[in-house]
Amino acid sequence: MSDLVPPSLRPDERAMLAEYWHFFEPHADAINVELLRVLETMPNWAPMIRAMKPEDMAAQNKRSTARTRAALVDNDWTEYLADLHQQGKGYAKSGISFAAWFEILAAYRDAVRHRIVALAREDMTRATMVSDGMNRHLDIAMGFLGEAYLETKEEIIREQQEAIREISTPVLQVRDRLLIMPVVGLVDTHRARFLTEGLLRAIRDRRARGVVMDITGVPIVDSKVANHLAQACEAARLMGAVVVMTGISSEIAQTLVAIGAQLRGVRMVGDLQGGIEEIDRLLEHPREDDDPLDEVES
Amino acid sequence: VTVPILKQGDFLVVAVEDELEDAAWQTLRTELLARAGRHRSVGVLIDVSAMEIMDSFSTRMLDGIARMLRFRGAKTVIAGIQPTVAFAMSQLGLRLSSAGTALDLDDGLAELRRRTRRP
């Protein structure tokens, strides 16, 4: 958990938060009941509300009241923020949308507003202060909740990326000294690096002489990706392996020509089977144009 | 530092053990060309598996040696470029376009035989 830094509040903000709490606390139970009634009609929240036992909910409300009082009145935010953080994480993991939280906010504002309006008839100054305090309170709460929510979502994304990276760059041995590497999914700079390193390690460890890199599963090949793939092929060649690239779809071929990508020094064959046959041929009978000296230097 | 050059049949074999100074590269080049002529070698194998860094200078030197040997009628194969070195070279765009490559010494000799085979 990251360090939760309490909000820095001006004295007038602290006063309005405390004023809001002193107004709210006597109404707390009534407001909670009203809030529950509304939430029970909302598809996002009704199942969760129904799943809770009334006595658990009462206990939870009591703890929440104590924490909120400590924060708003005594300016001690530690427990309150820790709880918000926990909740934000929980909602992110259980897949509740962020927007659903604003439904609760709207219901809460409704429940409090008509009481503030009643107060305004007697004491306009205090009512303004209470309503300012409520808004400040909700802003702080949503800020911290949102941060925890995003943090957790980002963490999930990182974990998934890691998982995808690991499963998506297998290097398979077809037979003695011949490898195939099916590349599936988007190739970015980071993944290209990972993929190339994996390929080079496999060439050394399994003493490969030929590699077929099949990119049927790569949906987008732009000039950057093309460059990455060409670099991987060149690195493999430096280690003495013959590389053939296969599986370039007609759409990708058109894109490559349209953007002027060169893929210089990369041998291409239509499909995987053709690629394996081509490597057999290259390893068995080196062609005249296989001799690198005949390559035109620019 | 002088790099020993070994004769093996029609081939010459060199193992570059360390990062070489500029002058040592030039000595190696001159020696290789002279020996290739004297022994009528048709192939030269340069093993670089001990090199942990291959910068643009050493790449240019190796490529130049391969090109010059070609003018004397000999083919060159560079063997044993390590994965990390190969990766760095490809990132920097360093190419060894005048020489063949091979995984290690054994493969390098096989590759030379293949390249110098007379029909």
**Which regions of chain B are under pLDDT 50?**
none
pTM: 0.62
Cβ neighbours of B20 (radius 10 Å):
19
Q: Which residue has the tokens 């001690």?
A: A76
Token couple for B94: 């360093």
- pLDDT band of residue A261 (cuts 50, 70, 90) is confident
Token couple for A197: 């390193």
Residue from the list A207, A238, A291 with its beta carbon closest to the beta carbon of B81: A238
> CA torsion sign, A234 to A237 to A241 to A246?
positive
Token couple for A48: 């969760």
Contact partners, residue B2, CB within 8 Å, separation at least 6: B24, B27, B28, B31
Distance from CA of B21 to the nearest CA of A (A): 22
A239·B103 Cβ contact <8 A: yes
B90·A286 Cβ contact <8 A: no
Here the ipTM equals 0.86
pLDDT tens digit string along A130-139? 999 999 999 9
Cβ neighbours of A215 (radius 10 Å):
22
Q: Which residue has the tokens 């077929």?
A: A212
B79·A232 Cβ contact <8 A: no
Query: What is the rounded CA–CA span in Å between residue A79 and residue A134?
Result: 19
pLDDT tens digit string along A34-77? 888 888 888 888 888 888 888 888 888 888 888 999 998 998 89
Token couple for B104: 């290690």
Residue from the list A196, A236, A286 with its beta carbon closest to the beta carbon of B114: A286
Query: How high is the pLDDT of residue A168?
Result: 67
Residue from the list B66, B70, B83 with its beta carbon closest to the beta carbon of A239: B83
